[in-house]
Structure 1
Amino acid sequence: MKLHNKIRSILGASLVLSASACESFLDVNTNPNSPVDAPISGLMTNITYETSLNVFRSGSAVSNYVQYLASPNPDSGSDTMEPLNFSGTWFSLYNVMTDLNEMNIKAEEAGSLHYLGAGQVLLALNLGMTVDLFGDVPFSESFNFTTVTPKYDDDQVLYGNVISLLDQGIANLRATSQTSIGADDFIYGGDIPTWIKFAHTLKARYLIHSNGGSGFSAAEVLATAAAGFTSNADNAEVIFFEQRFNPWAQIAINNEALLLGGWISEQFIEALDGTSYPVVDPRLPLMIGTTDAGEFVGTENGAGRGNAPEQGARSTLIEDQFYTRTVSPLLISTFSELKFIEAEAAFATDKPRAYQAYLNGIEAHMDMLGVTTVAKTAYLTAPSVAVGASALTMDLIFKEKWVALFLHPETWNDARRFDYAYKDFSPPANLNPNLGGSLIRRLAYPDSEVSRNGANVPSVSLLDRVWWDQ
C-alpha cells in the first residue's frame, strides 16, 4: 500500500532539504578521500525525493519543446530552441547518481538487497534521463573519485547499463534481504512487489525507445509490460507536503504573483479544445486555467503574448488542480504511460491488443485526473477516439500519450521518436536560425561541464541525435 502521507510524517522537511549526502564527482573543492558517511536510510530518503525532483527538472527543461508550455516573452530561448545552459539539471542528476552509487555499495556490503535493488532501479532511471537529454555522458569513471575529468561513455552502451541495472534491481528486489526498505522510501513506503512492477515498467519505457531499430523486440517489450503496473494505484510518485510545495504548484503560485511562468502553449490547448480534433477533451479544465474571460487561450511558442499583454488574457497553470496542488504528486512513471507503451509495441502485430491498450491508457489518465464517468464515456465513445482496432493509427497513440504525460520529460523522447509529427504541431516563431528549419534533438552540454571537463566533452550540435533517435 502506498503511504500518501509519508513525507509529512518523517522528520518534516529538514531531512530531505539537506544537501546531498555524498558530494558529486564534479565538486572539485571537496576532498574525495573524506566523503561524508551517510546512513543508508538517510540516503534512501534523499534519493527518492530528489529523483522525483529530477523528473520535474527534466520536464521543465523540455516542456516548451513539446509545446506544453510557452514563454510569455517573444524570442525566449526556451521556445526558440537556443542552446541553453542546463548546468543545474546536470548537477542534480549527477548528485543523485553519486548518492545512489554510495548507497548501493553500502547495501551490498550489508546484504540489504532490497535497498540495493531499489537503488539499481533508481540509478537506471537517473542515468536514462541523463542520456536521453544529452547523449554521451560520463558514467564509468564518474564515481570512483580518481578523476575530476571523467571520460564520456557511448550513449548506446549506457542504455545497455540502464537495462542491466533494471534486471539486477528486479533480481535483488526478489531476493531475501537482511534489512528492507520502509518509511524512508518516499515512493512506495517499502512496498517491494510494487517496486518490482516499477522496474518492469521502466524497462518497457527504455526498450520502446529503440522501436524501429535493428535490435528492437516488440515481444520483449510486451512481456516486460505484462509484469509492470496493473492500475493507477501502482504509479511511481512522490507526494509533496505543506512545508515544500510541489514545484509545479510553486510555478502557478509565482505566476499569480506576476513572476511569470507556466503559460500554456497554443498547440496544447488547440489539441484539446476541439480545434485540431473533433472532440473537446474533458481533461482540459482539470489540467490548466482559463483567461479572466473564462476561455482557454494559449500562447504561441516563440511569439509571446502578442497583442494580449495582460496576464489574465492567456491560459496558465493555476493553483489547486491535479498537477498544481501544493501537495500534488510528482509523477515518475504511471500506469497510463505503460498502456501506451503496450499499444505502440503491439501495433504492428496485434491491433486489437494495441487498440484496447490505447483506450485503457486514456481511461487511466482520466481516472487519475478525476474526470466524471459521464464525461469519460462520452470522450471514449466519440468517433474520432473510438476508431476501432482496424483504424487505429500511431498518430492517435502518440497524441493521447502526449496528453497523458503532461509536463513529463518522457514526452520529449516520444516527440523526437515521432519526429514532432503531432497534428497541427508547427515550429515556434523565431526558431533558432542555426537549426535550419529543423527542431532540436538534444540539449547542449552545460557550461559547467565544458569549463571543468572540456577536453572530454563531445563536439555536437543541437541537431545531432542520441542513439535511439535515428
Structure 2
Amino acid sequence: MKFKNKLKTIVGASLILTASACESYLDVNENPNNPQDAPISGLMTNITYETSLNVYREGSAVSNYVQYLASPNPSSGSDTMEPLNFSSLWFSLYNVMTDLNEMNLKAEESGAAHYLGAGQILMALNLGMTVDFFGDVPFSESFNFTTVTPAYDNDEMLYGEVLSLLDQGIANLNLESTSSIGADDFIYGGDIDAWKKLAYSLKARYLLHTKGTSTYNASEVLTAAANGFSSNADDATVTFFEQRFNPWASVAINNANLLLGGWISEQFIEALDGTSYPTVDPRLKLMVGTTDEGEFIGTVNGAGRGDAPEQGARSTLIEGQFYTSTQAPLLIATYAELKFIEAEAAFESDKATAYEAYLEGINAHMDMLSVDQDEKAAYLADPSVSMGADALTLDDIFKEKYVALFLHPETWNDARRFDYGYKNMTTPENLNPDLGGEFIRRLAYPDSEVSRNGNNVPSVSLLDRIWWDQ
C-alpha cells in the first residue's frame, strides 16, 4: 500500500534543522576539509522533501512556456520567453544532488543498500531534470571538492548516467540492507516495492525522451512501463503539512491577497472549455477558478489581462482545489503520466494497446481529481475522446497528457518533443525578438554560474536544442 505521508510538527522542525551533509562547489566559502556531518536518515528526509520542491520549482519556471499560466502584466519576461536568471533553481537542484552524493556514499560504506538504491533513483531524477532544462551541465567534477569551476559534461552522456543510475537503484533495492528506510522517506515511507515501480516509471519517461534519436527503442519503453506504476496508489508524491503549505496553494493564496500570480492561460482554458475541442472537460472546474461572474476566462500569454470584459476578470489558481489545497500533494511521477507514455510508445506498433493506455490515462487523472462518475462517463463517451483505436492520433495522446500533467515540468519536455504542436497554441504576444518567431528550446545558464564558472559555461542561445530535441 502506498505510504500517504502526513508530516507532523516535529518532523517539520527536524527538516529545518537538517543541514546538507557537505556543500557542493556552489558554496565556495565552505571549508571542504571540515564538512558538517548529517545522519543518513536526516539526509533522506531533506532529499525526498526538497526533490518534490524541485519538481514544483521546475514546473513554476516553465508553466508560462507551455501556457498553463500567463502573466497578468503585458510583456512579462516569463511569458515572452526572455533569457531569465534561474540561479535559484540551479542552486536547488545542485544542493539536492550534493546531499544525494553524500547519502549514497554513506549508504555504500555502511551496506545500507535500500538507502543507496533510493538515493540513486533520486539522483537520476534530479540530474535528469537538470539536463532536460539546461543541456550540458557539471556532474562528474561537481561533488569531489577538487575544484570550484567544474567541467561541463555532455548532455547525451549524462542521459546514459541517468539510465544507469536507475538500473543501479533497482539492483540495490533487490539486495539485503543493513538498515531500513522508514518515516524519514517522505515519498513512500520506506516501501521498497513502490520505489522499484518509481524507478521503472522514470526509466520509461527518460527513454521516451530519446524518441527523436537513433538510440530510441519503443520496446524498452514498454518493458519499463510494464514494471512501473499499476494504479494511482503507486504515485510518487509528497504531502504537505500544517506548517508548510503546498507551494501552489501559496500561489493561490497570494493571488487572492493581490500578490498576483497563478493566472491561467487562455490556451489552457480553451483546451478544456469546448473552444479548441468539441467537448467541455469536467476537470476544468476542479483545476482552476472562475471570474466573479462564474466564467472561465484565460489570459493571453504576453498580452496581460487587458481590459475586456473588465480589467482583472480572469481565471486563476484558487485555494482548495486538488492542486492548490494547503496540504495537497506535490506530484513527482504518476500512473496517469505512465499510461500516456505507454500510449505513445505503443502507437506505431500496436494501436489497440496505445488506445487502451490512452483511455486509462484519462480515467486515472479523472479519478485523481475525483471527477463525478456520470461526468467522467459522459466525457469518455464523447466521440472526440473515445474515437476508437484506428482513429487515435499522437495529437490526441499529447493533448490528454497535457491536461493530466497540469503544472508539471514534464510538459515542457513534451512540448519540445511535440514542437509545441498543441492545437491552437501560438507563440505569445510581444515574443522575445531574439527567438525569431520560434518557441524557446532551453533555459539560459544562470547568472551565478556564468560569473563563477564562466570559462566552462557553454555558449548557447535559447533556440539551441539539447541532444534529444533534434
TM-score range, shorter chain: over 0.9
How far did 1:17 drift? 6.5
Aligned to 1:48: 48
CA contact (8 A) 2:20 2:36 kept: no
How far did 1:34 drift? 1.1
Aligned to 2:32: 32
Aligned mates of 1:393, 1:16 — CA distance in 2:
48
Aligned to 1:433: 433
Aligned mates of 1:124, 1:100 — CA distance in 2:
10
Aligned mates of 2:394, 2:98 — CA distance in 1:
38
Amino acid at match of 2:404: A
Aligned to 2:307: 307
Aligned mates of 1:19, 1:71 — CA distance in 2:
35
Aligned to 2:128: 128
Amino acid at match of 1:407: L
How far did 1:11 drift? 2.5
How far did 1:15 drift? 1.9
**Is 1:233 equivalent to 2:233 in the alignment?**
yes
CA contact (8 A) 1:345 1:354 kept: yes
What do the CA deviations read for 1:332-379 (whole angstroms, capped 9, x no partner)?
000000000000000000000000000000000000000011111111
Say which SS state the counterpart of residue 318 (structure 1) adopts.
coil
Aligned to 1:180: 180
**Is 1:217 equivalent to 2:217 in the alignment?**
yes
Q: RMSD over aligned Cα, in angstroms?
A: 1.1
What do the CA deviations read for 1:371-417 (whole angstroms, capped 9, x no partner)?
01111111111010001000000000000000000000000000000
Say which SS state the counterpart of residue 356 (structure 1) adopts.
helix
Amino acid at match of 1:4: K
Q: Following superposition of structure 1 onto structure 2, how do residues 134-153 of structure 1 map, counting pairs within 5 Å? A: 134-153=134-153
How far did 1:16 drift? 4.3
Aligned mates of 1:17, 1:383 — CA distance in 2:
55
CA contact (8 A) 2:2 2:194 kept: no
Q: Which stretch has the larger CA shift, 8-17 or 297-306?
A: 8-17
**Is 1:255 equivalent to 2:232 in the alignment?**
no
Aligned to 1:267: 267
Aligned to 1:64: 64
What do the CA deviations read for 1:243-263 (whole angstroms, capped 9, x no partner)?
000000000000000000000
Mind listing any 5+ residue stretches in structure 1 that lack a counterpart?
Answer: none
Aligned to 1:282: 282
CA contact (8 A) 2:252 2:262 kept: yes
CA contact (8 A) 2:32 2:145 kept: yes
Aligned to 2:462: 462
Aligned mates of 1:178, 1:265 — CA distance in 2:
50
Amino acid at match of 2:127: L
How far did 1:213 drift? 1.7
Aligned mates of 2:454, 2:381 — CA distance in 1:
55
% identity of equivalent residues? 77
How far did 1:311 drift? 7.0
Aligned mates of 1:307, 1:71 — CA distance in 2:
14
How far did 1:22 drift? 2.7
Aligned to 1:449: 449
Aligned mates of 2:16, 2:270 — CA distance in 1:
39
How far did 1:23 drift? 1.5
How far did 1:21 drift? 3.7
CA contact (8 A) 2:21 2:102 kept: no
Amino acid at match of 2:392: L
Say which SS state the counterpart of residue 363 (structure 1) adopts.
helix
Aligned to 1:360: 360
Aligned mates of 1:184, 1:465 — CA distance in 2:
38
CA contact (8 A) 1:250 1:326 kept: yes
CA contact (8 A) 1:402 1:411 kept: yes
Say which SS state the counterpart of residue 332 (structure 2) adopts.
strand
Say which SS state the counterpart of residue 210 (structure 1) adopts.
helix
What do the CA deviations read for 1:204-236 (whole angstroms, capped 9, x no partner)?
000000113211110010001000000000000
How far did 1:32 drift? 1.0
Gap change, CA 1:17 and 1:403, over 3 Å in 2: farther
Say which SS state the counterpart of residue 137 (structure 1) adopts.
coil
Amino acid at match of 1:184: D
How far did 1:41 drift? 0.1
Say which SS state the counterpart of residue 332 (structure 1) adopts.
strand
TM-score by length of 2: 0.98
What do the CA deviations read for 1:289-342 (whole angstroms, capped 9, x no partner)?
000110000000000011149675000000000000000000000000000000
Aligned mates of 1:323, 1:310 — CA distance in 2:
27
Aligned mates of 1:318, 1:17 — CA distance in 2:
32
Say which SS state the counterpart of residue 390 (structure 2) adopts.
helix
Aligned mates of 1:306, 1:300 — CA distance in 2:
9
Gap change, CA 1:45 and 1:364, over 3 Å in 2: same
Aligned mates of 1:314, 1:139 — CA distance in 2:
43
Aligned mates of 2:312, 2:322 — CA distance in 1:
21
Aligned to 1:166: 166
CA contact (8 A) 2:183 2:189 kept: yes
Aligned mates of 2:18, 2:406 — CA distance in 1:
29
Gap change, CA 1:336 and 1:16, over 3 Å in 2: farther
Aligned to 1:332: 332
Say which SS state the counterpart of residue 277 (structure 1) adopts.
coil
Aligned to 1:107: 107
Q: Following superposition of structure 1 onto structure 2, how do residues 84-95 of structure 1 map, counting pairs within 5 Å? A: 84-95=84-95
Aligned residues: 470
Q: Which stretch has the larger CA shift, 20-29 or 147-156?
A: 20-29
CA contact (8 A) 2:212 2:469 kept: no
Aligned mates of 1:24, 1:380 — CA distance in 2:
49
Aligned to 1:420: 420
**Is 1:81 equivalent to 2:81 in the alignment?**
yes
What do the CA deviations read for 1:238-282 (whole angstroms, capped 9, x no partner)?
000110000000000000000000000000000000000000000
Say which SS state the counterpart of residue 163 (structure 2) adopts.
helix
Amino acid at match of 2:340: F
Amino acid at match of 1:31: N
How far did 1:6 drift? 3.6
Aligned to 1:409: 409
How far did 1:4 drift? 2.1
CA contact (8 A) 1:6 1:189 kept: no
Say which SS state the counterpart of residue 237 (structure 1) adopts.
strand
Aligned to 2:321: 321
Say which SS state the counterpart of residue 12 (structure 1) adopts.
helix
Say which SS state the counterpart of residue 313 (structure 1) adopts.
coil
